[in-house]
């Protein structure tokens, strides 16, 4: 949604300054209610960190230290509606609160590797008189001196059981614990968890954290030993003095002395029974309509809702196999991800003397059919089929989750989308989509990748789409499509890290686009014949591959997406199909990178995007002559501007390059499409306040990028719209702004306001920096969810 407005800037500046002054004075006022009269009460607690650490490390440590504050001394000041601060029912101050908090903080420092860290505190009493009542406010300040960070000098594993030792040595490459890392208790704990997982994945069903531990060896600990001789003590003292500037520890992972025999026994799966259609209130299956045995797995059905072979195919717990925690989790995830079941539970019954396990897999079906209504927003780059023309949309759909008793899902969705501009309705789209999703690969050959555990989930999709897009004043785009695709995921959980791989491959996508130009567009094409090549009818017969990897480590989340689409590669060799049938022949690829760092109340988000398209087929010009294709199809062209791209420009109104070609057209608001796109974005996101469960947020953002053409399409006015490295700096556009965001948890409404800091149209004047910027002459964008 896009609006522009111009008012008297001096009036606005005066009003804004006045409002800021009011906010400052109102925000500085603090109301204290229900305080204990004539008694010192907890008013505020501060933490001061004295170290030479980088600011981000200090902030991270401070967040952890704040959690260690005793509940009775924590800050209780609440900010409401941005400017109103209130402190209600503050507790009476007690020095024991501060002493406990300091003790907790020192324990945290040690757990983070600051062995010599110190925590001191003092309190200040401030007397305030309010309405004949005396307030005795206590401000407590904790001064934290972390000291030198202790690092890991060596890591070793010493298990008496040779089988456990062999498993450990085989899996060392999966450990995140490295020599030279900071000594942190959570890192040690994570390594212990990894070892337990390794053992459980190799049959040790009953082993637990009670059976293994980490021994931390320091020079100080060895000096306490009264049995060491005088020469060893002297050597240790010298080593301690040497390590004073760089303290280190040695870590050894061991077995505990007391052993439980069953914990060191390997367990094998004996019997597996699956109950595929239980209700939540069923504890036992009183009536049985069908009982089947498939590959030694018993399936007991009550209502006969699923085919037994389908149920067994998603079970990874095989009779006779060694118990594996990984297969236990895979079985639960496999059934939960199918959609036909809402809950999965597995009961395990062990026979310690025989080392056998019996498994009962209990499945609770979900509601089979439902009606859904959804709100959508446009993306930065188009999907395989849908165009990238629309801002907001409402979808209505009907879903069936269990066709053919095999969790085949069908969905029928209708969508109504609009894009609002200066003249209100700028674009209107209606579409209908029918999709069949099969929870397996349907291939002409046998596939064993899932059985071998190479992938986590898989699916085959048949999709049929039709859409009608009305771009007011310019054209109507009608699109029909049918595609067959495969998607699958691979997931790997590593200590303190989670990495997921997402794949999608469409071997066949057949699409037809029909463009109905308005009289305005026909006049523009007459004056600028190159526009004829962009708005053409034609077929797309393509295959498409997409890949995404998402990595999560602590506060950091990284996503890398890439894709490649090719149309007409083989069919285009038949000349009659290439030209006469209007077959588009092109290759299009993109790379999309994003990285988010999430803090307690703030976040940093970075995004980069690059795309390239190349048309290589033949077409006919307006006179019927056969010439090389000049542009990508309108549904595949790159665009810039709008709520999810360069937000200081209206949707599809930036570029190409620094060309003024479109600005000089009689109707300059025509959509602009390119063959190349580069874009980078950065956001600093932060919380403002809450209204009940609604979270009010804001952000400061910076956008940089543009679109370009591969050639000037026969128009001299597009010479500066062609991508050239020596003009890259001139051609780049830069926008900056702020945002108001309403977070409803399940979706977010975004109001962005941005300015054109560097406009390529003025590239010859100081490279376009700060040209014709007025205070109110910014760009408003309405978006749903985060832009990246």
Please check whether residue 161 lies inside any domain of the structure. Answer: yes
Q: Which residue from 399, 395, 352 is spatially nearest to 377, judged by alpha carbons?
A: 395
Task: Indicate whether 388 pLDDT > 50.
Answer: no
User: Which range has the worst mean pLDDT, 51-65, 428-442, 537-551, 618-632?
Assistant: 618-632
Q: What is the 3-state secondary structure (H, E, C) of 231-270?
A: HHHHHHHHHHHHCCCCCEEEEEEEECCCCCHHHHCCCEEE
How confident is the model over 313-334, as pLDDT tens digits? 999 999 999 999 999 999 999 9
Q: How confident is the model at residue 773 (pLDDT cuts 50, 70, 90)?
A: confident
Rounded to an integer, what distance in angstroms lies between the CA atom of residue 348 and that of residue 361? 9
Q: Could you tell me if residue 567 is inside a domain? A: no
User: In this predicted structure, what is the pLDDT of residue 380?
Assistant: 37
DSSP 8-class letter at 576: I
**471 neighbors 671 (Cβ within 8 angstroms):** yes
> What value does the mean pLDDT take over residues 546-573?
90
Q: Which of 317, 354, 353, 356 is nearest to 335 (CA)?
A: 317
List CB contacts of 550: < 8 A, sequence separation 6 or more.
499, 500, 502, 557, 558, 559
Diameter of the chain measured on Cα atoms: 103
Compute how many other C-beta atoms are within 10 angstroms of the C-beta atom of residue 538. Answer: 21
623 or 255: which leads in pLDDT? 255
- Compute the distance between CA of residue 697 and CA of residue 89 in angstroms, rounded to an integer: 28
Question: If you average pLDDT over residues 102-108, what whole number do you get?
Answer: 94
**What is the domain extent for residue 786?**
638-788
Q: Tell me the C-alpha distance between 571 and 540, whole Å.
A: 10
Instruction: Please give the Cα distance from 154 to 167 (Å, whole number).
Output: 20
Task: Provide the pLDDT for residue 78.
Answer: 65
Beta bridge partners of 431: 415, 467
pLDDT band with cut points at 50, 70 and 90 for residue 243: low
Residue 730 exposure: Cα atoms within 13 Å on the Cβ side = 18
Residue 502 lies in a domain: no
Same domain, 705 and 651: yes
In whole angstroms, give the CA distance from residue 77 to residue 99. Answer: 22
CA distance linking residue 157 with residue 153, whole number of Å: 14
Among 105, 109, 137, which Cα is nearest to 121's?
A: 105
Over residues 160-187, mean pLDDT: 90
- Claim to verify: residue 330 and residue 353 sit in the same structural domain: yes
Judge if 278 and 354 occupy the same domain. yes
In this prediction, residue 58 carries a pLDDT of: 86
pLDDT above 60 (res 760) = yes
Has residue 448 been placed in a domain?
Answer: no
Phi-psi region of 102 (alpha: psi -120 to 50; beta: other; left: phi over 0): alpha
Domain boundary among 145, 166, 181: 145
pLDDT the model gives residue 495: 45
Q: Which of 62-76, 279-293, 413-427, 475-489 has the highest mean pLDDT?
A: 475-489
- Considering the domain architecture, whether residues 95 and 181 belong to the same structural domain is answered as no
The closest alpha carbon to 704, from 659, 648, 663, 753, belongs to 648
114 domain-assigned: yes
Number of domains the chain is built from: 4
Q: Are residues 647 and 781 in the same domain?
A: yes
462: in domain: no
pLDDT for residue 679 is more than 50: yes
Arithmetic mean of pLDDT over the chain: 84
Look at residue 709 and tell me whether its pLDDT is greater than 60: yes
* Site of tokens 């804004």: 16
- Token pair of 542, please? 């393509």
User: Do 226 and 324 belong together in one domain?
Assistant: no
Give the per-residue pLDDT at 9: 39
Peptide bond before 656: cis, by omega within 30 degrees of 0? Answer: yes
Give the pLDDT band of residue 244 (cuts 50, 70, 90).
low
Here the tokens at position 366 are 């979900």
Q: At 774, list the tokens.
A: 């007025």
CA–CA gap between residue 673 and residue 547 (Å, rounded): 25
Going by C-alpha positions, the residue among 559, 625, 646, 629 that lies closest to residue 588 is 629
Of 41-45, 291-295, 395-399, 619-623, which range is least confident? 619-623
Q: At what angle do helices 185-200 and 95-111 cross, to 10 degrees?
A: 60
Q: Which helix (H) or strand (E) holds 103?
A: helix 95-111
Q: What is the mean pLDDT of residues 373-385?
A: 52
Whether the per-residue pLDDT at 226 is higher than 60: the answer is no
pLDDT at 626: 82
Q: What is the band of 228 on the pLDDT scale with cuts at 50, 70, 90?
A: low
Judgement on whether residues 287 and 203 belong to the same structural domain of the protein: no
Render the burial of 733-755: b for 16+ CB within 10 Å, e for the rest. Answer: bbbbbebebebeeeebebbbebb
Query: What is the structure's pLDDT at 218?
Result: 55
With beta carbons less than 8 A apart as the criterion, state whether 632 and 713 touch.
Answer: no
The HSE-up count of residue 77 (CA atoms within 13 Å, CB side) is: 18
Instruction: Kindly indicate the confidence band of residue 621, based on its pLDDT and cuts at 50, 70 and 90.
Output: confident
pLDDT at 280: 78
Domain boundary, last residue among 263, 292, 313: 263
Instruction: Please classify residue 390 by burial: count the beta carbons closer than 10 Å to its beta carbon, then call 0-12 exposed, 13-18 middle and 19+ buried.
Output: buried
- Residue 2's CB: how many other CB atoms inside 10 A? 20
Whether the Cβ atoms of residue 464 and residue 482 lie closer than 8 Å to each other: yes
Looking at the predicted structure, is the pLDDT value of residue 240 above 90?
A: no
- What letter would DSSP give residue 228? S
310-to-336, 343, 572 alpha-carbon distances in Å: 14, 17, 41
pLDDT given at position 224: 47
Does the pLDDT at position 516 exceed 70? yes
* CA 741/CA 28 separation, integer angstroms: 24
Mean pLDDT of 532-541: 88
The domain boundary residue, chosen from 127, 145, 163 = 145
Q: CB–CB of 195/177 below 8 Å? A: no
What is the domain-level CATH number for residue 243?
A: 3.10.20.310
Bridge partners of 490?
Answer: 501
* Spatial separation of the C-alpha atoms in residues 223 and 238, rounded to whole Å: 11
pLDDT for the residue numbered 17: 44
B/e letters for 686-716, b = 16+ CB within 10 Å, e = fewer, are: eeeeeeeeebebebebbbbbbbbbbbbbebe
Tokens representing 237 are 């003292």
- Across 351-355, 411-415, 460-464, 781-785, least confident range: 781-785
3 state SS of 30: strand
b/e sequence 30-54, b meaning 16+ C-beta within 10 Å: eebeebeeeebbbbbbebebebeee
The pLDDT score that the predictor gives to residue 381 is 40
Least confident range of 583-592, 607-616, 657-666: 657-666
| Weakest-pLDDT range from 202-211, 239-248, 547-556, 645-654 | 239-248
Contact by Cβ (8 Å): 462, 436: yes
Q: How far apart are CA 319 and CA 274, in angstroms?
A: 12
**Residue 233 above 90 pLDDT?**
no
Q: What is the dihedral of CA 641, 642, 648, 652, to 10 degrees?
A: 30
For residue 382, what pLDDT is reported? 37
Parallel/antiparallel/unpaired status of strands 290-294 and 408-421: unpaired
| Angstrom distance (rounded) from CA 119 to CA 142 | 7
Mean pLDDT of 354-369: 94
Q: Are 647 and 785 found together in one domain?
A: yes
- Cα separation of 605 and 680, whole Å? 11
Q: Can you read off the two tokens belonging to residue 772?
A: 């014709």
> Contact, 195 vs 174, CB < 8 A?
no
Q: How far is CA 20 from CA 13, 31, 542, in A?
A: 10, 20, 56
Same domain assignment for residues 246 and 337: no
Query: Which residues, 6+ apart, have CB-to-CB distance to 502 below 8 Å?
Result: 487, 489, 546, 547, 548, 549, 550
Per-residue confidence (pLDDT) for residue 620, from 0 to 100:
79
For residue 684, being part of any structural domain is answered with yes
**Do 278 and 321 sit in the same domain of this protein?**
yes
Q: Which residues pair with 428 in a beta bridge?
A: 418, 470
Residue 586's beta-bridge partner residues?
567, 615
Distance of CA 245 to the CA centre of its chain: 41
| Contacts with 154 (C-beta within 8 Å, 6 or more apart), sequence order | 179, 250, 251
Q: How far is CA 648 from CA 610, 654, 706, in A?
A: 19, 9, 12
259-268, 284-293, 633-642, 730-739: lowest mean pLDDT where?
Answer: 284-293
**Do both 68 and 174 map to the same domain?**
no
Q: Is 332:376 a contact under the CB 8 Å cutoff?
A: no
Q: Are 470 and 476 in contact (CB under 8 A)?
A: yes
CA distance 531 to 535: 7
Please report the pLDDT score of residue 479 as a whole number: 93
Q: For residue 406, with 0-12 CB atoms within 10 Å meaning exposed, 13-18 middle and 19 or more buried, which class applies?
A: middle
The two tokens of residue 38 are: 């004539």
- Are 763 and 650 part of one and the same domain? yes
Whether 611 is in a domain gets the answer no
Mean pLDDT, range 460-474, rounded to an integer? 92
- In this prediction, residue 387 has a pLDDT band, given cuts at 50, 70 and 90, of very low
Give the residue, 386 or 437, on which the prediction is more confident: 437
Give the pLDDT band of residue 587 (cuts 50, 70, 90): very high
Give the per-residue pLDDT at 515: 92
Which of 78-82, 445-449, 530-534 is the least confident region? 78-82
């Amino acid at each position: 949604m896009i609006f522009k407005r111009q008012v008297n800037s001096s009036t606005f500046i005066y009003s804004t300054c006045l409002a800021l002054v009011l906010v400052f004075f109102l925000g500085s006022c603090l109301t204290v209610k229900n305080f204990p009269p004539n008694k010192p009460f907890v008013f505020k607690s501060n933490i001061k960190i004295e170290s030479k650490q980088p600011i981000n490390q200090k902030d991270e440590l401070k967040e952890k230290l704040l959690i260690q504050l005793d509940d009775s001394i924590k800050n209780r000041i609440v900010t409401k509606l941005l400017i109103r601060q209130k402190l209600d029912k503050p507790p009476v101050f007690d020095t024991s609160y501060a002493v406990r908090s300091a003790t907790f903080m020192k324990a945290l420092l040690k757990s983070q590797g600051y062995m010599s860290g110190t925590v001191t505190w003092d309190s200040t009493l401030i007397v305030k008189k309010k309405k004949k009542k005396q307030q005795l406010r206590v401000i407590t300040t904790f001064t934290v001196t972390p000291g030198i960070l202790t690092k890991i000098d060596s890591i070793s594993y010493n298990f008496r059981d040779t089988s456990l030792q062999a498993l450990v040595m085989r899996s060392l490459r999966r450990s995140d614990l490295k020599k030279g890392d900071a000594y942190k208790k959570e890192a040690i704990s994570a390594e212990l968890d990894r070892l337990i997982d390794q053992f459980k994945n190799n049959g040790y069903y009953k082993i637990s954290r009670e059976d293994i531990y980490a021994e931390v060896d320091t020079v100080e600990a060895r000096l306490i030993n009264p049995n060491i001789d005088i020469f060893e003590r002297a050597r240790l003292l010298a080593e301690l003095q040497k390590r004073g500037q760089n303290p280190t520890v040695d870590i050894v992972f061991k077995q505990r002395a007391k052993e439980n025999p069953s914990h060191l026994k390997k367990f094998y799966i004996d019997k597996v029974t699956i109950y595929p259609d239980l209700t939540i209130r069923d504890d036992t299956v009183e009536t049985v309509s069908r009982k089947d045995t498939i590959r030694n797995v018993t399936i007991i059905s009550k209502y006969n809702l699923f085919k037994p072979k389908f149920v067994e195919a998603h079970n990874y717990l095989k009779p006779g196999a060694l118990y594996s925690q990984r297969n236990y989790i895979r079985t639960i995830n496999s059934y939960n991800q199918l959609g036909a079941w809402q809950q999965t539970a597995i009961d395990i019954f062990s026979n310690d003397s025989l080392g056998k396990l019996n498994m009962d897999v209990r499945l609770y079906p979900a509601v089979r059919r439902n009606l859904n209504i959804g709100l959508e927003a446009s993306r930065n780059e188009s999907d395989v089929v849908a165009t990238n023309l629309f801002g907001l949309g409402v979808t209505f759909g009907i879903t069936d989750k269990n066709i053919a008793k095999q969790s085949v899902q069908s969905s029928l969705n209708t969508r109504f989308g609009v894009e609002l501009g200066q003249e209100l309705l700028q674009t209107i789209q209606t579409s209908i989509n029918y999709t069949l999703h099969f929870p397996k690969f349907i291939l002409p050959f046998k596939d064993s990748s899932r059985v071998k555990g190479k992938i986590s989930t898989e699916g085959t999709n048949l999709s049929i789409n039709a859409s009608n897009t009305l771009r007011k004043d310019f054209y109507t785009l009608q699109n029909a499509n049918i595609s067959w695709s495969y998607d699958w995921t691979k997931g790997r959980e590593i200590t303190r890290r989670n990495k997921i791989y997402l794949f999608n491959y469409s071997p066949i996508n057949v699409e037809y686009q029909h463009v109905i130009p308005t009289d305005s567009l026909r006049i523009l094409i007459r004056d600028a014949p190159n526009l004829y090549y962009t708005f053409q009818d034609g077929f797309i017969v393509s295959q498409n591959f997409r890949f995404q990897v998402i990595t999560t480590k602590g506060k950091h989340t990284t996503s890398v997406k890439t894709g490649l689409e090719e149309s007409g590669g083989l069919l285009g060799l038949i000349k009659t199909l290439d030209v006469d049938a209007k077959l588009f022949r092109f290759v299009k690829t993109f790379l999309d990178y994003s990285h988010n760092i999430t803090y307690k109340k703030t976040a940093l988000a970075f995004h980069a995007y690059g795309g390239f398209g190349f048309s290589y087929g033949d077409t006919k010009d307006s006179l019927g002559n056969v010439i090389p294709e000049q542009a990508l199809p309108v549904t595949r062209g790159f665009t810039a501007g709008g709520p999810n791209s360069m937000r200081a420009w209206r949707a599809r109104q930036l570029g190409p390059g620094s060309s003024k070609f479109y600005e000089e057209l009689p109707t300059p608001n025509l959509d602009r499409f390119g063959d190349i796109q580069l874009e980078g974005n950065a956001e600093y996101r932060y919380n403002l306040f809450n209204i009940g469960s609604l979270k009010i947020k804001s952000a400061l953002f910076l956008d940089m990028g543009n679109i370009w053409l591969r050639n000037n399409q026969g128009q001299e006015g597009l010479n500066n719209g062609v991508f050239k490295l020596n003009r890259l700096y001139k051609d780049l556009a830069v926008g900056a702004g702020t945002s108001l965001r309403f977070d409803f948890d399940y979706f977010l409404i975004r109001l962005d306001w941005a300015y054109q800091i560097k406009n390529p149209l003025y590239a010859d004047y100081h490279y376009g920096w700060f040209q014709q910027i007025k205070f109110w002459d910014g760009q408003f964008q309405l978006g749903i969810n985060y832009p990246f």
